[in-house]
Amino acid sequence: MSRTGTALLVLAIVGLALGLGLRFAGFSPAAQIVWTLGTLPVLAALLIEIVRALARGEVGLDIVAALSMSAALAFGETLAAQVVAVMYAGGTFLEAYAEGRARADMSALLARVPRVAHRHSGDGLEEVALDALAPGDRILVRRGEVTPVDGTLASATALLDTSALTGESLPVRIGPGASVMSGAANAGETFDMIATHRAAESTYAGIVRLVEAAARARAPMARMADRASLGFLAVTLLIAGAAWGLTGDPIRAVAVLVIATPCPLILAVPVALVAGLSRAARFGVLIKGAQALEALSRVRVLILDKTGTLTDGMPKLTAILTESIDETEALRLAAALEQASGHPVAQALVAEAQGRGLALPVPEAVCEAPGEGLTGRIEGHAVAIGGPGFVAAALGQPAPDLPPAEPGALRVTLGVDGRIVAHLTLADRLREDTPGFLAAARRLGIRRIILATGDRPEIAERVAAPLGLDLVEAALVPVQKVEIVLRERARGPVMMVGDGVNDAPALAAADVGVAMGARGAAASAEAAQVVLLVDRLDRLLPGIEVAQRSIAIAWQSVAVGLGLSVLGMIAAAFGLISPVEGAIAQEAIDVAVILNALRALAIRPRGIAPAAEAA
């Protein structure tokens, strides 16, 4: 809250307390003066704010508060006017607190932005501004520091805490050459990294831009609340005018104006929506504004890309067929030689071997035929790996007669000391979390799930077979994905999930576009309304549930708050509530409505353990 607002609140409270003291001491006329003087600064500030709102073309419902204070002063209800002044200033303070509390998790992301980095130079280390970093720079990251840009690990190991970004509570240990996301905290020993992007182009900078823009968009629900607020103003004036006109008692009209509170509309909706945005961010789901949050809550059709979305997006070892060697030794020799290659298949075999805890010797005399295979020596053995034809030619043998691999699978052959000893099959496997995600999505109200991919139909059908999808569309170009999104809108709001550049048009066309942002292309992240910071499809589920429950809480606050306000106005019109009692009741309704809206911060999605939340 601003200093001016705080000063007005203090002045109103002091005026109320001083006036009460004078009245109890028997100085009622003096008390009336003090209460008037305590009300006028708040009323003046309120009138200035109303004029500014009108200049912007906005009709603020603070008009009700201004009318109630003015009417109370005009008819000698100075105590009621002072109470309304205290309540208004206190409500403004409470609103500022609620907004700040609702944005707490997103603000925590912004607070982590590093200001400087430590770059290696010819003379040692130099402290430089983030904007001075360039791809290729070697950067030192000390214990507890936040990684300043995207890059790759140049040290033997690093322990990274990504909880503030992804909601994953446990630190992750990575090895040399692994990707390092900007914004991760160093939870272990000091390490070096090589920058791959400038600061402004890095993951964390994109997150910061999303967070800063998240609350600027006006949701349809918020705009509807604004329009409903005008109707509420009309109802308030109608009840107040009727109470005065039918009874001839202006005090009843004052009481109606005093108890009228539009806070369920002007405060509850934005507070609940911003709280929902903040809560979703805690689970690694960045939602670009209240409009996207509301759209996410209404999704009924889900369209999924395949590669990198339903599947891992990287080849994984699925089978090893050996002839004269055991599987473990075949994988060890293959991965040892593949250490010399940067091909995705090579990286997949090395990762599989390391995941099994195999020690990989250093290859010697390596010769690579790009796109075909490698030859070299491992612990004195002549080793060749690559396509069956390449390995057969390297060994001087005819190509082996092998049954065809399953659609979408890739087979590599391993030769050792002049003999073919194994065939390794790799494929882009279905994500482990995919079946559970799809089942949970249907429980959350998704009625239709479609696979839309550019892959061949036989590959798409193989992937979709165990999933129970409603429709499989394959061999698509980007414009065809957009056409599917537009066609499916007839069945309800559409959510599209993808991770590649080719998905960007469909993401932009959907009611809700979701980008797998942890590894997805920058174009898809920019086009999407929702970005998943964790490379896991099931992390979208808490985002959907938070959106649904945040919207429900907002509507609940509106219904209960306006209902209580209207009941209070009717009671005041019948003379059952005095202006002072009305002011107190009005503040009670405001507090109850705002506290209820803040319940969105405590939403705990089903199936998400407490440990999954960021600390």
Q: What CA–CA distance (Å, rounded) separates 220 from 361?
A: 61
Q: Write down the number of H helices and E strands in the chain.
A: 22, 22
Q: How many domains does the chain have?
A: 2
- CATH number (domain holding residue 418): 3.40.1110.10
- CATH number (domain holding residue 161): 2.70.150.10
Q: Which two structure tokens, joined as six digits, stand for 36?
A: 């008037």
The pLDDT value recorded for residue 260 is: 82
Asked if 304 and 415 count as a contact pair (C-beta separation under 8 A), the reply is: no
Q: Kindly state whether residue 396 falls inside one of the protein's structural domains.
A: yes
The pLDDT value recorded for residue 517 is: 62
pLDDT along the chain (615 residues), means of 10: 75 89 90 91 86 72 78 88 81 65 56 79 86 91 88 90 60 84 85 89 66 51 59 85 92 88 67 84 82 90 86 82 88 92 84 90 88 89 91 86 74 91 86 87 94 84 88 86 91 87 77 73 63 82 94 88 88 91 82 85 70 40
Q: What is the DSSP letter of 197?
A: S
Q: Kindly state whether residue 470 falls inside one of the protein's structural domains.
A: no
Q: What CA–CA distance (Å, rounded) separates 572 from 579?
A: 8
Give all strands of the β-sheet with 116-121 in edge-to-edge order: 124-129, 116-121, 138-141, 191-195, 151-153, 179-180
Check if 131 is active-site.
no
Query: Is the dihedral angle over the CA atoms 563, 568, 570, 576 positive or is it negative?
Result: positive
State the pTM of this model. Answer: 0.68
Neighbours of 177 (CB within 10 A): 12
Q: What CA–CA distance (Å, rounded) separates 65 from 46?
A: 8
Q: Kindly state whether residue 102 falls inside one of the protein's structural domains.
A: no
Q: Which of 305, 428, 455, 535 is catalytic?
A: 305
Q: What CA–CA distance (Å, rounded) separates 605 from 615?
A: 16
φ/ψ bin of 205: left (φ > 0), alpha (ψ from -120 to 50), beta (otherwise): alpha
Q: Kindly state whether residue 305 falls inside one of the protein's structural domains.
A: no
Give the domain-ending residue among 167, 196, 211.
211
Q: What CA–CA distance (Å, rounded) separates 466 from 485?
A: 23
Q: What CA–CA distance (Å, rounded) separates 508 from 525?
A: 10
Q: What CA–CA distance (Å, rounded) separates 431 from 78?
A: 68
Q: Which two structure tokens, joined as six digits, stand for 497?
A: 């999930």
Q: What CA–CA distance (Å, rounded) separates 42 from 335?
A: 74
Q: Kindly state whether residue 363 falls inside one of the protein's structural domains.
A: yes
DSSP 136-174: T-EEEE-TTPBP-S-EEE-SS-EEEE-HHHH---S-EEE
HSE of 565, CA atoms in CB hemisphere, 13 A: 29
Give the domain-ending residue among 427, 458, 492.
427
Give the domain-ending residue among 195, 211, 227.
211
Q: Kindly state whether residue 369 falls inside one of the protein's structural domains.
A: yes
DSSP 257-313: HHH---HHHHTHHHHHHHHHHHHHHHTTEEE-SHHHHHHHHT--EEEE-IIIIIEEE
Task: Residue 127: give the domain boundaries.
Answer: 116-211
Q: Kindly state whether residue 230 falls inside one of the protein's structural domains.
A: no
Q: Kindly state whether residue 13 falls inside one of the protein's structural domains.
A: no
Q: Are strands 494-498 and 471-473 parallel, antiparallel or unpaired?
A: unpaired
